[in-house]
Amino acid sequence: MIHLLTAADIPAAMRLKEAAGWNQTEQDWVNLLAAEPEGCFGINCDGALVASAAGVCFPRAQPLPDGRGSVSSALAWIGMVLTAPEYRGRGFARRLMDHTLEFLTRRGVEWVKLDATDMGRPLYARLGFEDEALVERWCLPKVESRPPVDLPAWRLEDFAQLDAAAFGADRTNILRPLAVESAAVPGEGYAMGRPGTKATYFGPCVARSAEAARRLLEWFLARHPGESIFWDLLPGQPEALRLAQEFGFEPRRRLVRMALRGSPGAALFRHDDSAVYAIAGFEYG
């Protein structure tokens, strides 16, 4: 009954996320399917897709001297855990989570993380996930007109290292398709943006300093007058919080970032939230 999601499932998958009021576009499903064609799963019932889950693997940031980095994944991110409202409480999400975790174990993943809603959190806690940090969605309902800010586009080769150190794994497979709109403060940081079905999305933004993040935010807002913006941040990063408040954003939703040790011997997962001014998305990490 569990099957691999393919491009043909995207319209039905969009209906699932619409029922939950989420912001993803069809392109987000395309990105997840492209990043992990064997890791996106669904359950059909009564002839229609009624539940989904997606797990994307990210390789180790730096291959270890023994080469293990080339065969095993350091981290996987689970997202798009959705059950159609009328099919909830029948164990579909639980079965999809079990299936996705089995897939990730086969791929040699050391850690699994996700951003949990209040509805998903009890399920993940029962599977062994532990709280790591709060994640908040902040919203700017309407961007005022601002003078344009001229910045060069993001280039992977300039920021691969900074991003991997912040995130803790090499997420090139996701960053490339997310760079629909991108900018860089050379040597200091980068930001990206993309459309959403409810609001334009700011993120990811990874920077060495709050000044660089501010410049990147100014660049982004200047390009979207009149639009509403979503920005997901880690409130434990005080500079990100301060910038959101200063630019008139308001808190909308609170999720909990959770982590599960995927293989028993996995070393502690190293990452650096202090450089994370905007996450890539609840579904991407």
Residues of this chain that interact with ligand COA (CB under 6 A) are: 20, 51, 81-83, 88-94, 116-117, 119-120, 122-123, 126
Nearest residue (CB) to ligand COA, 12 versus 20:
20
Nearest residue (CB) to ligand COA, 21 versus 226:
21
Closest distance between ligand COA and the C-beta of residue 265, in Å? Answer: 27
Nearest residue (CB) to ligand COA, 217 versus 256:
256
Closest distance between ligand COA and the C-beta of residue 126, in Å? Answer: 5
Residue matched to tokens 């100014």: 218
Nearest residue (CB) to ligand COA, 52 versus 182:
52
Nearest residue (CB) to ligand COA, 89 versus 226:
89
Kindly state the helix (H) or strand (E) to which residue 18 belongs, with its residue range.
Answer: helix 10-19
Closest distance between ligand COA and the C-beta of residue 99, in Å? Answer: 12
Closest distance between ligand COA and the C-beta of residue 65, in Å? Answer: 37
With a CB cutoff of 8 Å and minimum separation 6, the contacts of 32 are 40, 54, 56, 79, 80, 283
Alpha helical stretches, state H, 49-114: 92-106
β partners of residue 253: 137
Q: Burial-class residue 118 by CB neighbours within 10 Å (0-12, 13-18, 19+).
A: exposed
Closest distance between ligand COA and the C-beta of residue 60, in Å? Answer: 25
Closest distance between ligand COA and the C-beta of residue 171, in Å? Answer: 19
CA distance 40 to 54: 4
CA distance 139 to 118: 19
CA distance 164 to 160: 6
CA distance 183 to 207: 12
Nearest residue (CB) to ligand COA, 19 versus 64:
19
CA distance 213 to 238: 13
Closest distance between ligand COA and the C-beta of residue 146, in Å? Answer: 34
**CA–CA–CA angle 129, 107, 4 (5° rounding):** 90
With a CB cutoff of 8 Å and minimum separation 6, the contacts of 147 are 222
Nearest residue (CB) to ligand COA, 59 versus 203:
203
